[in-house]
Structure 1
Amino acid sequence: MPAVDIPGSKSITARALFLAAAADGVTTLVRPLRSDDTEGFAEGLVRLGYRVGRAPEAWQVDGRPQGPAVPEAEVYCRDGATTARFLPTLAATGRGTYRFDASPQMRRRPLLPLTRALRDLGVDLRHEGADGHHPLTVVAKGVEGGEVVLDAGQSSQYLTALLLLGPLTRKGLRIRVTDLVSVPYVEITIAMMREFGVEVGREGDVFVVPPGGYRATTYAIEPDASTASYFFAAAAVTPGAEVTVPGLGTGALQGDLGFVDVLRRMGAEVSVGAEGTTVRGTGELRGLTVNMRDISDTMPTLAAIAPFADGPVRIEDVANTRVKECDRLEACAENLRRLGVEVGTGPDWIEIRPGAVPAGAEIKSYGDHRIVMSFAVTGLRVPGIAFDDPGCVRKTFPGFHEAFAELGEGLGGRR
């Protein structure tokens, strides 16, 4: 099977855009993800007065360590959680009045632990409607810094936003974290800050971020590991199939590459090398119980292939998936039941019990790209699967259906 070209990481592209905007100098981002989320982030920077040049293979950003170039702006964050959480934080470093709003889907998603921490740091931040939700206005006058307490049990993005802010404050930040989910995403942030000249310290549950700003650089965006999970899963459910993703190997930043370890436990052959990762389907897919707290974006991928396992698949410690683009835990359960699969759920777990061969049905997407992409993998083995909103994949991978159809044709003789 030829190598699969996966678009750049959404998480890394968003962080790189923030870092580039905050850095002293011009930063070049190589092979950034071009999708609705990342274009929305770049457009938000432009509305704040940053110069962002977007060529096909590289984006250039003129950094402004002093914050936004305009004294007032209206920014629409679309569906993007990183845009909606990171840009108000960046705007606080400047001087001016900046209003942020988002799609109805994003308006429902929580912000309160982050906005509460920003207020504790002296940021004048006002929610127009429900506290802790968009729309909101930041009346910025720079951020002094100091100590702050944060609960990041719902989303690691709250902590990432404050870590990214730290070097732009006058005194630096000491962030005491009371709870934290999706730790690998925080490790991505810290590794990327290092590439832009900032070293984050850690003392137990306290993250220490020095002042002094960022320096511009040239930064290559690695392929998206969450997106790669659908292609790896496709190999795992197809005996004799092999999928290789170049650019995601032993040095990869993204914790979601750990999904291949789950596939290995289930019986797939997995090879992770310096240049990339290969998964090969063996015809065996074992049931298992797995904690996915740290790789919860790949929970729907596992749920979607669980009906083909030889025993129950139980996924635990994924309460945070209930506050993503949709309640992903219930969305997976609902769609599996539509296919005739027996499913049980609890506050932070889902158990899929394979039995009768799944039957085709329309998958309810809930406007969530990951639900559609996950159940596309199920569709490799179950004819008659359709989607009520196939286009929502534009959030992270506009060309997904074409790429996956091509993969399916390549695997056709092995199913």
Structure 2
Amino acid sequence: MSFTLKHIEGPISKEINLPSSKSISNRVLIIQALCDKKFKIENLSEADDTKILTQALQLKNKNINAGEGGTTLRFLLAFLTTRESECKLSGSKRLMQRPNEPLIDALKKLGGDIERKKNHWLINGRNLAGGMLNISASISSQFISALLLVAPTFKNGLQLSLKGKVVSSPYIDMTIELMREFGIEVTENEKTISVSPGKYQSKNFSVEPDWSAASYFYELAELNPGSKILLKGLKDDSLQGDRVVAELFEVFGVKSTFNEKGVLIENILTAKSQRHKEYKKLIFDVKDCPDLFPALVVTCAAKKINATFKNTSHLNSKESERANVFAQLLKQLNCSVKQTKNSFSIDAKNFELKNLNLKLPTQNDHRIAMSFAPLASLVSSISFDNEKVVNKSFPDFWKEFKKKNT
């Protein structure tokens, strides 16, 4: 169903309730499923991906559809391969097209029985011996996290050697820290991760808010000089690598101050000073924070800032071919875009919102919708072709985004 977002008048003064971290929620759900004794998870994400994973882990259905969730599918591939039962696992058309072979090959080398059919995988779960394994780390960190989470169940544990350039390494760090928190011994030596066999220890856990979701409100603050937005519940000492968004937006003049309520973000530049602020070409490395690319690139375009994004090769294996889709959308807004296999550059000096009633195809990608929403500060309205696309990670996004100023 289509949805129209009306013009948002700045400066912005709001308190925002962010969703719980989907990344943390999904990892803790796998840990809970592998525990002998269930424990309470507070503030579990309400995102579609997490709801699907929660239901799938109950193992009441032998025919499981992972929907659109890359993490959901990959975590389930590893989990179901180690459970002593047979099931069918599938996902959306786009999800089935995304790269999964390195994980499947790794599971097969460990003794897993996975057979690709036309529209699903047939998995005959069994206990795996584990041992030494090499895997490419240059496509998705989710492969590594999926293997690590189930590794304590292997008779001989797991010695995982990462090959190639490691992308999204903070997500691997998050997985390791959570495993340790629940009692598993994990050691790291350069690009080798060793997991000892053992059992997860049951303990109640509270999921922190999502830093990735915060990026769209940093963007909103940047586009509205004088804005003050409180992002409730966020902490500086977060497990999430995307906490780096606070540092990245400093270059635009958005200041972050942590307090007992969360983080207060302020656009400390006035409209006049922003007009006269000159930016050199900005360079961002998104190897470890690919989910921040959407907010950063749209911010640069809207501020007519030339920018280059390095290490973007894995963006095209997201919910959409994300780099390609952003290139198309930004070109329609009169930006010049140059792409290589591993970089994305924009020349935004001619950026122009020609139509004050902008129409945006979301390509079934939640981050496209959320990153373009702040442009409502610059136009009369933006029409999105799919209102519910944000449910994948932030079901209350529109409600929070449209909150009246306080």
Q: 2:98 is matched with which residue: 100, 106, 109?
A: 109
Unaligned runs of 5+ in 1: 50-71
RMSD value, Cα: 1.8
- Among the aligned pairs, what percent are the same residue? 29
For 1:92-107, list aligned pairs within 5 A.
92-107=81-96
For 1:14-413, list aligned pairs within 5 A.
14-46=26-58, 48-49=59-60, 73-129=62-118, 135-179=120-164, 180-272=166-258, 276-281=262-267, 282-283=269-270, 284=274, 286=279, 287-309=281-303, 311-356=305-350, 357-360=352-355, 361-406=358-403, 409-410=404-405
Residues 272, 42 of structure 1: CA spacing in aligned structure 2 closer, same or farther, 3 A cutoff? Answer: same
1:42 and 1:207 map into 2 onto residues whose CA distance is 27
Once the 2 structures are TM-superposed, how far is the Cα of residue 274 of structure 1 from its aligned partner?
6.9
| 8 Å CA contact 2:186, 2:195 repeated in 1 | yes
1:116 and 1:272 map into 2 onto residues whose CA distance is 44
Once the 2 structures are TM-superposed, how far is the Cα of residue 273 of structure 1 from its aligned partner?
5.4
2:86 maps to a residue whose letter is T
TM-score, scaled relative to structure 1: 0.88
2:34 and 2:222 map into 1 onto residues whose CA distance is 42
2:32 and 2:201 map into 1 onto residues whose CA distance is 8
2:157 maps to a residue whose letter is G
1:85 and 1:316 map into 2 onto residues whose CA distance is 26
2:36 and 2:26 map into 1 onto residues whose CA distance is 18
SS of residue in 2 equivalent to 1:95: coil
2:150 and 2:343 map into 1 onto residues whose CA distance is 34
SS of residue in 2 equivalent to 1:372: helix
Match of 2:20 in 1: 8
1:354 and 1:175 map into 2 onto residues whose CA distance is 43
Q: Deviations along 1:100-145, whole A, 9 cap, x unmatched?
A: 011112111111110010011011111113xxxx621111121111
| 8 Å CA contact 2:334, 2:348 repeated in 1 | no
| 8 Å CA contact 1:359, 1:384 repeated in 2 | no
By relative contact order (CA 8 Å, sep 6+), the higher-ranking structure is 2
Q: Which aligned runs of 4 or more in structure 1 are off by greater than 4 angstroms?
A: 272-275
Once the 2 structures are TM-superposed, how far is the Cα of residue 74 of structure 1 from its aligned partner?
1.4
Q: Deviations along 1:31-80, whole A, 9 cap, x unmatched?
A: 1111211111111112x14xxxxxxxxxxxxxxxxxxxxxx811111111
| 8 Å CA contact 1:250, 1:274 repeated in 2 | no
1:41 maps to a residue whose letter is L
Residues 378, 349 of structure 1: CA spacing in aligned structure 2 closer, same or farther, 3 A cutoff? Answer: farther
Q: Tell me which moved more, 258-267 or 323-332.
A: 258-267
Q: Tell me which moved more, 272-281 or 315-324.
A: 272-281
TM-score, scaled relative to structure 2: 0.90
| 8 Å CA contact 2:82, 2:112 repeated in 1 | no
1:86 and 1:106 map into 2 onto residues whose CA distance is 13
SS of residue in 2 equivalent to 1:26: coil
Once the 2 structures are TM-superposed, how far is the Cα of residue 292 of structure 1 from its aligned partner?
1.1
SS of residue in 1 equivalent to 2:218: helix
Q: Deviations along 1:280-307, whole A, 9 cap, x unmatched?
A: 1124474511111111111011111112
2:353 and 2:257 map into 1 onto residues whose CA distance is 30
2:399 and 2:189 map into 1 onto residues whose CA distance is 47
Q: Tell me which moved more, 356-365 or 374-383.
A: 356-365
1:166 maps to a residue whose letter is A
SS of residue in 2 equivalent to 1:270: strand
| 8 Å CA contact 2:336, 2:346 repeated in 1 | yes
Once the 2 structures are TM-superposed, how far is the Cα of residue 170 of structure 1 from its aligned partner?
1.0
Residues 310, 372 of structure 1: CA spacing in aligned structure 2 closer, same or farther, 3 A cutoff? Answer: closer
| 8 Å CA contact 2:306, 2:349 repeated in 1 | no
Unaligned runs of 5+ in 2: 1-12
| 8 Å CA contact 1:229, 1:257 repeated in 2 | no
